[in-house]
């Protein structure tokens, strides 16, 4: 039997129209996530936690652009109860276009920071582009917003949209306190749930969800263990818990599910090596804000020595050198013992670190990721902790691969 072929004048336009038709025919509730960093991790958390009660379809990997999102929407089936999709961008108007395809009932914005500055004049322009998701929400839909990010918190002024804030400050409906790492490198935090109008998407309010209602008792406190490192991942988890609340799943029913979450490959994996060293493999991508979060995370871990293996952060435009140098200063200020830089753009890390007082003996440069991998093998000793982070095009996973049998021999229980 010959396959049926459709001949169209505009293949991308046809793909978008087909995806929009599938989304409309399916008709179920859909969550869309955007932000400068944390999109994929937050998407995976939301899908995993909603998956405790619903059949969830999410876009695979980072299929989040003008090609990946419509292809993902085409996978919606009648048995899919909830869709969870991340939206990416590299230009003004792209988020709006993707949101109009997805027609989300819940829009999540993780943060806004210095990413894609090659394509935008400043961070305010990036914020305006991310705001397109909230502008596209229908009246009565929910915006789940990071209250710790002033730009994102301001998105809540959009007329007709209901807002759930997450964060670590008093403005957040879902608020984390007492954030700290445990001895195994997970994040511990206390969740406080602030009163707000309890309207849900997935289930009618029945009074049994144990969150404070307007005029009710003091905010409830719940203790959580999240097997992902860092305050930034706690914020991602708060966003996911907030979305689940809107679908009628209270936080108290998700403590075990949160404890079972795991980082995606190369997105914050903490692995203990056979020689007693540990590696935080966060090399999938990098940006100034994401790198700062990773450095702060590593600095919070007990270690004999702390090593940063850093490749360049791409798409930063004319501010690239300045932003790399500033990140290098942070390495020095956090008292890292070794800074190993990879590739030409990363030389600015070393310049910034040296200017901030890091000794030349602590600075090592390698031209390639393969060379850096061999050097790291020689450097790592028991009690050391190393961070791997770079933009995708640097292929810093080759450093990870160079560790070879040191990783293979690592006890599976040591992986977080």
What is the CATH number for 317? 3.90.190.20
Position 374 pLDDT exceeds 80: yes
- For residues 162 and 63, membership in a common domain is answered with yes
- For residues 287 and 356, membership in a common domain is answered with yes
Which of 292, 339, 309 lies closest to 400, judged by CA?
A: 309
- For residues 47 and 179, membership in a common domain is answered with yes
Q: Tokens 């700062």 label which residue?
A: 292
Q: Tokens 């190369």 label which residue?
A: 266
CA 118 to each of CA 90, 113, 135, 314, 315: distance values in angstroms, whole numbers, following the listed order: 9, 13, 24, 9, 5
| Residue 93: inside a domain | yes
- For residues 248 and 298, membership in a common domain is answered with no
Last residue of some domain: 236, 259, 282?
259
Q: Is 84 helix (H, G, I), strand (E, B) or coil?
A: strand
Which of 284, 34, 33 lies closest to 294, judged by CA?
A: 284
* Residue 30: strand pairing partners: 83
Q: How many CB atoms lie within 10 A of CB 75?
A: 15
Position 196 pLDDT exceeds 90: no
Structure tokens at 91: 């230009």
pLDDT at 367: 96
Task: Tell me the backbone φ, ψ of residue 165, rounded to 5 degrees.
Answer: -100, 140
The listed range with the strongest mean pLDDT (28-32, 60-64, 204-208, 313-317) is 28-32
Give, for 272, the enclosing helix (H) or strand (E). Answer: strand 269-272
pLDDT-based confidence at residue 412 (cuts at 50, 70, 90)? very low
Kindly report, residue by residue over 300-348, the tens digit of the pLDDT.
898 999 999 999 999 999 999 999 999 999 999 999 999 999 999 999 9
- For residues 301 and 209, membership in a common domain is answered with no
The listed range with the strongest mean pLDDT (69-78, 183-192, 206-215) is 69-78
Question: What's the structural domain count of the chain?
Answer: 2
Taken in order 108, 114, 116, 117, the sign of the CA dihedral is positive
- For residues 245 and 273, membership in a common domain is answered with no
Last residue of some domain: 200, 227, 259?
259
| Residue 398: inside a domain | yes
Q: Walk across the sheet containing 306-311 and list its strands.
A: 269-272, 278-281, 385-389, 306-311, 338-342, 363-366
Q: What's the mean pLDDT when you consider all of the chain? A: 90
Euclidean distance between CA atoms 315 and 114, whole angstroms = 10
What does the pLDDT average to over 258-273? 91
Euclidean distance between CA atoms 299 and 60, whole angstroms = 32
State the residue range of the domain holding 350. Answer: 269-414
Position 208 pLDDT exceeds 80: no
Euclidean distance between CA atoms 268 and 255, whole angstroms = 21
CA 407 remoteness from chain centre: 25
- For residues 191 and 294, membership in a common domain is answered with no
| Residue 7: inside a domain | no
The CATH number linked to 174 is 3.40.1190.10
- For residues 297 and 243, membership in a common domain is answered with no
pTM: 0.89
- For residues 233 and 346, membership in a common domain is answered with no
| Residue 5: inside a domain | no
What does the pLDDT average to over 115-139? 93
Q: Which of 31-35, 173-177, 193-197, 250-254 has the lowest mean pLDDT?
A: 193-197
| Residue 176: inside a domain | yes
Q: Tokens 């996978």 label which residue?
A: 75
What does the pLDDT average to over 117-142? 93
Show the DSSP H helices in 103-230 as ranges.
123-136, 150-153
Structure tokens at 250: 């209270």
CA 219 to each of CA 188, 212, 225: distance values in angstroms, whole numbers, following the listed order: 19, 6, 19
| Residue 3: inside a domain | no
Position 16 pLDDT exceeds 70: yes
Which of 351, 385, 378, 350 lies closest to 364, judged by CA?
A: 350
| Residue 43: inside a domain | yes
CB neighbours of 298 closer than 8 A, spacing ≥ 6?
Answer: 280, 306, 308, 336, 385, 387
> What helix, strand, coil percent values describe the chain, rounded to 5?
40, 20, 45
Position 193 pLDDT exceeds 90: no
pLDDT at 72: 98
pLDDT at 212: 39
pLDDT-based confidence at residue 67 (cuts at 50, 70, 90)? very high
pLDDT-based confidence at residue 408 (cuts at 50, 70, 90)? low
| Residue 4: inside a domain | no
- For residues 196 and 324, membership in a common domain is answered with no
- For residues 247 and 281, membership in a common domain is answered with no
Q: How many CB atoms lie within 10 A of CB 157?
A: 9
CA 296-299-305 angle, to 5 degrees, is 150
Last residue of some domain: 237, 259, 281?
259
Position 210 pLDDT exceeds 80: no
- For residues 203 and 306, membership in a common domain is answered with no
Q: Is 223 helix (H, G, I), strand (E, B) or coil?
A: strand
Query: If 0-12 CB within 10 Å is exposed, 13-18 middle and 19+ buried, where does residue 256 land?
Result: exposed
351 near 331, Cβ under 8 Å? no
Which of 286, 275, 280, 233 lies closest to 400, judged by CA?
A: 280
159 near 168, Cβ under 8 Å? no
């Amino acid at each position: 039997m010959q396959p049926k072929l459709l001949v169209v004048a505009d293949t991308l336009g046809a793909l978008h129209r087909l995806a929009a038709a599938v989304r409309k025919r399916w008709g179920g509730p859909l969550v869309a996530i955007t932000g400068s960093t944390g999109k994929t991790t937050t998407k995976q958390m939301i899908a995993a936690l909603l998956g405790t009660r619903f059949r969830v379809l999410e876009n695979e990997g980072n299929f989040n652009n003008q090609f990946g999102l419509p292809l993902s929407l085409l996978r919606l089936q009648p048995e899919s109860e909830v869709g969870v999709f991340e939206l990416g961008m590299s230009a003004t108007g792209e988020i709006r276009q993707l949101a109009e395809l997805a027609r989300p009932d819940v829009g999540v914005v993780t943060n806004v920071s210095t990413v894609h500055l090659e394509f935008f004049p400043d961070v305010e322009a990036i914020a305006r582009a991310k705001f397109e998701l909230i502008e596209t929400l229908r009246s009565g839909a929910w915006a789940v917003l990071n209250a710790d990010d002033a730009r994102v918190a301001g998105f809540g002024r959009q007329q007709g949209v209901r807002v759930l804030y997450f964060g670590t400050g008093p403005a957040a409906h879902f608020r984390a306190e007492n954030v700290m790492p445990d001895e195994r490198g997970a994040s511990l935090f206390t969740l406080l749930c602030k009163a707000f109008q309890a309207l849900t998407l997935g289930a009618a309010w029945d009074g049994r969800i144990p969150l404070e209602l307007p005029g009710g008792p003091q905010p409830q406190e719940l203790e959580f263990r999240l097997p992902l490192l860092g305050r930034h991942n706690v914020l991602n988890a708060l966003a996911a818990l907030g979305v689940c609340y809107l679908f009628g799943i209270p936080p108290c029913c998700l403590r075990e599910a949160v404890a079972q979450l795991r980082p995606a490959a190369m997105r914050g994996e903490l692995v203990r090596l056979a020689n007693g060293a540990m590696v935080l493999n966060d090399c999938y991508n990098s940006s100034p804000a994401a790198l700062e979060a990773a450095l702060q995370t590593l600095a919070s871990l007990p270690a004999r020595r702390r090593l940063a293996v850093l490749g360049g952060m791409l798409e930063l435009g004319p501010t690239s050198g300045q932003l790399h140098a500033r990140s290098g200063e942070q390495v020095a200020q956090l008292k890292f013992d070794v800074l190993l830089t990879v590739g030409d753009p990363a030389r600015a890390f070393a310049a910034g670190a040296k200017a901030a007082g890091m000794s030349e003996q602590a600075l090592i440069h390698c031209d390639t990721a393969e060379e850096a991998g061999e050097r790291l093998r020689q450097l790592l000793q028991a009690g050391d902790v190393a961070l791997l982070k770079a933009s995708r095009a640097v292929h810093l996973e080759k450093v990870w691969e160079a560790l070879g049998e040191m990783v293979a021999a690592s006890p599976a229980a040591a992986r977080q």
